[in-house]
């Protein structure tokens, strides 16, 4: 005899499975949609030319995505290079050095920072960063770095709190200073977690649109230095979608931009997962 | 084990007969008194077992001896813990040097996230010994001292976490010994181990007492009977009775001790 509670259990399991499959399917459908919508462009141009040409002249039918791809990668790289050391040290300070009273005030503030809409970061960037840097990649990188900082700090604090007390005490009881223990035990133990946090933060940074768009300059040229203007992929899509769609192939081009972004994030996630898996296996962390 | 070979003379022992003396030790955590006026003499080169029911302050006593208690939120420590003439509660000496002289073996083995070799070498490295040849000697010497060398000689550079839990505990002991402590604090060091591994570690402590003063918190009365030279019985943060094992076990003076030993409470 199957009674009511067992039926409910089965129903709950079934519903949750369907919802999970749907969520995964959405991603697949998105990817498929992007591919289909970019087909007109992909059919008429070689893929290599689209990705590695720097000529962006939609009116003449020239679509080279290199400036945007480069802009995206540059801005993200600057952001993570600036934000990672700061957030690592902040998270270490908060978990290992700070008094609970400090933590009590800092954590809610980080949550507020993490929850601010990105347009506010954009405005802040225009008012306070752009006067020093101009509308450049550097400005975009700084604004983006500041934006992902609270996210990174909260993730890293979580990661560092998972280190068992016994492990730090083992190091301490041998006469190690806190800093020695952090360098040789805590950072090593949490390395996979740190990488995973960076992956999340980078994925977030790659897709960030508004704040970067407001300070980056948005010139479709391949940037040669930090002080050049840049034009990341999300900004390209946001700025142009809905306009100029009468141009042949233009919509397909924007869809292809989205597809590139999608692929970059996908590749980045898969690669880092593979690396993580190898590292964890090798060091039995 | 006789100390015929000392691979490392960076850590000279101050005096070879040093006892630990605890005078009027009070420890508060927040508003509650965990240790109340503890007075003890820990004899040199013997095994002192601290027994008593859970929550009686045994671990806090141990954690005071190497000042790990400092990292506990809201802990205050008063009184004196003397090693020789030096008061480690109010020591001017840097606390890291103090801790080097007092090794700790915890309840659950806690191998550091590195190789077997690096685990033993860690202590020496943080105190500035870099010479690889010397480190190899130290690692081998102390792995031999805990009877682990033959089991791991072929895989020194594999992660320590792959060892069995009994092997891990002996590794942790080797790691503590490698910085040449005078005292070894063991907090229920065998309670997470299976009976055979547990007996191994016990026998190891008995051999090591020729060279180290061992202070062991244990929940197992039978273990204390097997290896203790000296016994401290604690109850509710106070030392009820302390003395040579024979005396405390066979002729306890205090009513509470009698009850505890007879199993009236645990």
Give A149-167 as a DSSP string. HHHHHHHHHHHHHTS-HHH
C-alpha A41, offset from chain centre: 27
Q: For residue B26, what are the β-bridge partners?
A: B78
Q: Which two tokens stand for residue B37?
A: 């006026």
Q: Which residues of A touch B (CB under 8 A)?
A: 100, 164, 166-167, 169-177, 180, 184-185, 188-189, 283-285
- Residue B17's pLDDT is 59
Helices (H) and strands (E) in chain B, counts: 10, 10
Contacts of A172 in chain B (CB under 8 A): 68, 71, 99
- Sign of the torsion formed by the C-alpha atoms of A94, A97, A103 and A109: negative
Angle at the Cα of A20 (from A16 to A21), degrees rounded to 5? 120
| Measured distance CA(B178)–CA(B123) in Å, rounded | 7
Residue A167: closest C-alpha in chain B: B110
- Residue B10's pLDDT is 53
| Measured distance CA(A169)–CA(A217) in Å, rounded | 51
Residue B113: closest C-alpha in chain A: A189
- Residue A186's pLDDT is 95
- Residue B92's pLDDT is 66
Distances (CA, A) of A50 to A39, A139, A232, B238: 13, 27, 16, 80
What backbone torsions phi and psi does residue A160 show, to the nearest 5 degrees? Answer: -65, -30
Tens digits of residue pLDDT in B204-225: 999 999 999 999 999 889 999 9
- Residue B19's pLDDT is 83
CB contact under 8 A, B103 and A173: yes
- Residue B91's pLDDT is 76
Each residue's pLDDT expressed in tens, for chain A with a length of 285 residues: 668 899 999 999 999 999 999 999 999 999 999 999 999 999 988 888 899 988 898 888 889 999 999 999 999 999 999 999 999 999 999 999 998 889 999 999 998 998 899 999 999 999 999 999 999 999 999 999 999 999 999 999 999 999 998 899 999 999 999 999 999 999 999 999 999 999 999 999 998 888 999 999 998 889 999 899 999 999 999 988 877 667 778 889 999 999 999 999 999 999 998 988 888 888 777
Q: B123: helix, coil or strand? A: helix
Region of A131 (left: φ > 0; alpha: ψ -120 to 50; beta: rest) is alpha
Lowest mean pLDDT among B71-75, B78-82, B148-152: B71-75
| Measured distance CA(A126)–CA(A136) in Å, rounded | 11
Q: What is the ipTM of this complex?
A: 0.84
User: What's the CATH number for A59-283?
Assistant: 1.10.3720.10
Domain ranges within chain A, ordered by starting residue: 4-44, 59-283
| Measured distance CA(B199)–CA(B203) in Å, rounded | 6
Q: Which two tokens stand for residue B79?
A: 């009184």
Interface test mutation site (partner B, options A97, A99, A100, A174, max chain B beta carbons within 10 A): A174
In chain B, the domains with their CATH numbers are: 20-261 (3.40.50.300)
Contacts of A166 in chain B (CB under 8 A): 106, 108, 110
- Residue A244's pLDDT is 66
What backbone torsions phi and psi does residue B62 show, to the nearest 5 degrees? Answer: -60, -45
Contacts of B122 in chain A (CB under 8 A): 171, 174, 176, 184
Instruction: Provide the 10 A C-beta neighbour count for residue A281.
Output: 9
CB contact under 8 A, B104 and A170: yes
CB contact under 8 A, A172 and B176: no
Strands (E), chain A: 56-57, 62-63
Contacts of B114 in chain A (CB under 8 A): 184, 188, 283
- Residue A28's pLDDT is 94
Q: B26: helix, coil or strand? A: strand
**Which of B98, B110, B127 is nearest residue A170 as measured by Cβ atoms?**
B110
- Residue B7's pLDDT is 52
Tens digits of residue pLDDT in B8-36: 545 555 445 578 999 999 999 988 999 99
């Amino acid at each position: 005899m199957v009674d009511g509670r067992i039926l409910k259990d089965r129903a709950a399991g079934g519903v949750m499975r369907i919802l999970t499959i749907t969520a995964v399917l959405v991603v697949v459908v998105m990817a498929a949609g992007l591919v289909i919508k970019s087909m007109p462009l992909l059919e008429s141009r070689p893929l290599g030319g689209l990705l590695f040409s720097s000529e962006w002249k939609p009116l003449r039918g020239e679509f080279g995505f290199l400036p945007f791809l480069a802009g995206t990668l540059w801005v993200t790289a600057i952001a993570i290079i600036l934000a990672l050391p700061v957030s690592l040290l902040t998270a270490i300070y908060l978990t290992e050095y700070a008094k609970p009273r400090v933590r009590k005030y800092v954590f809610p503030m980080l949550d507020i920072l993490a929850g601010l809409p990105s347009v506010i970061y954009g405005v802040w960037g225009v008012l306070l960063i752009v006067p020093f840097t101009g509308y450049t990649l550097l400005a975009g990188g700084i604004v983006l770095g500041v934006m992902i900082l609270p996210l990174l700090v909260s993730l890293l604090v979580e990661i560092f709190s998972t280190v068992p007390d016994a492990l730090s005490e083992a190091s301490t009881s041998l006469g190690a200073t806190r800093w020695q223990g952090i360098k040789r035990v805590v950072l090593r133990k949490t390395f996979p977690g740190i990488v995973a946090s960076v992956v999340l933060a980078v994925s977030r940074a790659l897709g960030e649109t508004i704040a970067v768009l407001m300070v980056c300059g948005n010139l479709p040229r391949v940037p040669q230095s930090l002080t050049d203007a840049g034009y990341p992929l999300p900004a390209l899509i946001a700025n142009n979608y809905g306009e100029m769609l009468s141009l042949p192939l233009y919509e397909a081009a924007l869809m292809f931009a989205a597809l590139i972004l999608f692929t970059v994030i996908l590749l980045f996630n898969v690669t880092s997962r593979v690396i993580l898996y190898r590292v964890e296996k090798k060091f039995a962390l | 084990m006789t100390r015929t070979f000392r691979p490392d003379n960076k850590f000279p022992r101050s005096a070879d007969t040093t006892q630990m003396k605890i005078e009027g030790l009070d420890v508060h955590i927040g508003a509650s008194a965990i240790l109340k006026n503890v007075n003890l003499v820990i004899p040199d080169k013997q095994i002192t077992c601290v027994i008593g029911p859970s929550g009686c302050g045994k671990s806090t006593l141990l954690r005071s001896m190497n000042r790990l208690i400092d990292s506990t939120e809201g802990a205050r420590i008063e009184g004196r813990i003397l090693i020789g003439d030096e008061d480690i509660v109010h020591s001017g000496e840097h606390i890291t040097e103090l801790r080097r002289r007092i090794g700790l073996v915890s309840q659950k083995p806690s191998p550091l996230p590195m190789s077997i070799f690096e685990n033993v070498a860690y202590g020496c490295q943080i105190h500035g010994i870099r010479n690889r040849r010397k480190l190899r000697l130290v690692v081998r010497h102390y792995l031999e001292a805990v009877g682990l060398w033959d089991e791991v000689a072929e895989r020194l550079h594999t992660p320590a976490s792959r060892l069995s839990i009994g092997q891990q505990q002996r590794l942790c002991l080797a790691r503590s010994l490698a910085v040449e402590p005078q005292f070894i604090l063991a907090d229920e060091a065998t309670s997470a181990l299976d009976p055979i591994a547990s007996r191994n570690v016990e026998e190891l402590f008995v051999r090591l007492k020729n060279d180290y003063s061992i202070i062991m918190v244990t929940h197992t009365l039978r273990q204390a009977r097997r290896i203790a030279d000296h016994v401290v019985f604690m109850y509710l943060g106070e030392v009820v009775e302390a003395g040579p094992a024979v005396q405390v076990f066979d002729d306890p003076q205090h009513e509470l001790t009698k009850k505890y030993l007879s199993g009236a409470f645990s």
